[in-house]
Amino acid sequence: MTSPEIAVAGPVPVGSVAPDFDLRDQNNRRVSLSGLREKGDVLVVFFPLAFTGTCEGELGHIRDNLPRFADDTLTTVAVSVGPPPTHKVWSSAQGYLFPILSDFWPHGDVARSFGVLDERRGYANRGTFLVGRDGLVRYAAMVGPGEARTEETWTAALATRS
C-alpha cells in the first residue's frame, strides 16, 4: 500500500489487459511489450532511478539469477524514466544483460499506464507485473521508492507464469 502523499492510481489489476508499450532499451533499440509476448511471458519491473542503491540491488538480484528471470518462454525487462544513455552507462557498469527500458518521453507514460507513476516525484514506484503471452496481467504489485521488493515478490510473480 502506498502512503497518502504519493500520488499514484494504483497498479493495473490482475486479469486486465496489460498496456502495450514501445520503448528504447539501453542500446537505443525499440522494444515493445507485444513483440516480447510473441516469445512468452514478460516480467515488467519498474524502478525509480538508475545509480541508486536499492535499484542496483534489485536489478543485481535479477542479473545474479538470470536463468530464473529469462529463458525460452520468459523475458524480463526493467523500466525507468531515465534516458537510454544513462541506462547504457549504468547497465554496462553493473553487467545487466536484460533490457533496461526508457520511459523518458513522453515522461512516465508507460509507468502511468501501469498505475505506478508517482506524479509528484516524476518517477515510477517499484511496480512488478507478470504479463502472460495472452496480454493479461497475471501478477501485479507495487511498493514505494524507499521500499525494496522482497524475495517473496519475485517468487510470487514467477509462480504465475503460464
CATH number (domain holding residue 104)? 3.40.30.10
Specify the pLDDT at position 50. 93
Percent of the chain whose predicted confidence (pLDDT) is above 70: 94
Q: How many domains does the chain have?
A: 1
- Can you give the residue range of the structural domain that contains 119? 22-159
CA 66 to chain CA centroid, nearest Å: 15
Residues with Cβ within 8 Å of residue 53, at least 6 apart in sequence = none
Specify the pLDDT at position 19. 97
In a domain, residue 14? The reply is no
Specify the pLDDT at position 1. 41
Catalytic residue among 31, 43, 50, 55: 55
DSSP state of 93: H
Specify whether 55 is catalytic.
Answer: yes
In a domain, residue 6? The reply is no
In a domain, residue 125? The reply is yes
Rounded to two decimals, the pTM is 0.93
Q: Identify residue 35 by its one-letter amino acid code.
A: G
Instruction: Give every residue of the chain whose pLDDT is below 50, as ranges.
Output: 1-6
